[in-house]
Amino acid sequence: MDLKEFQEGLISLDFVIIILSLGIFISSFIARPFLSLDQFQINFIIGLCIGNIIFSLIFLVEALRVKKIFKLELVYIIKYTKILAILVLIYLPHLGFLIFFLLLEMALLEKLISFVLFLFELLLIYTVLRQVYDILFVEEDKRNANIKKNRNKYLK
């Protein structure tokens, strides 16, 4: 994957997820009387949104480090990619909670926002896993050529 595309994609997906999470979070308080949410649903929404924001901020910091990491040796690039893979594995249960959240009885607008958030989270996971695959699981010659091409194209 192209280094610049990866970085810009990750940053933009993180910001969209943060905005959607804040939208769900704020709307659950403002529209609480109209949506007839019980305390379990409010607590679940708060936990889900805080988790989204924390993970998005972590991925945002990792996205901002991409250019610095790719200037280093191959060992550090592979280590960085493994860290991204571990973050995605930690993030997957959160995605399961979001699926459970979609199954709760809510207003149509909150279901729609939650579904859009689910799609953007899937895009985030796909983007990161594609970069992980391109670095860790591709043949060494292809990987070295791809890293060299990205270094020549963007880092000089």
pLDDT digits 0-9 by tens, 36-82 = 777 888 888 888 889 999 999 999 999 999 888 888 888 888 899 99
Q: State the DSSP string of 94-111.
A: HHHHHHHHHHS---HHHH
pLDDT digits 0-9 by tens, 93-130 = 888 888 888 887 777 777 788 888 899 999 999 999 99
**Domain residue ranges in the chain:** 3-154
- In angstroms, the CA 75 to CA 73 distance is 6
Confidence of residue 1 (pLDDT cuts 50, 70, 90): low
The two three-digit tokens of residue 147, written as one number: 């890293």
CB of 78 within 8 A of CB of 136? Answer: yes
The two three-digit tokens of residue 155, written as one number: 């880092």
pTM of the predicted protein model: 0.84
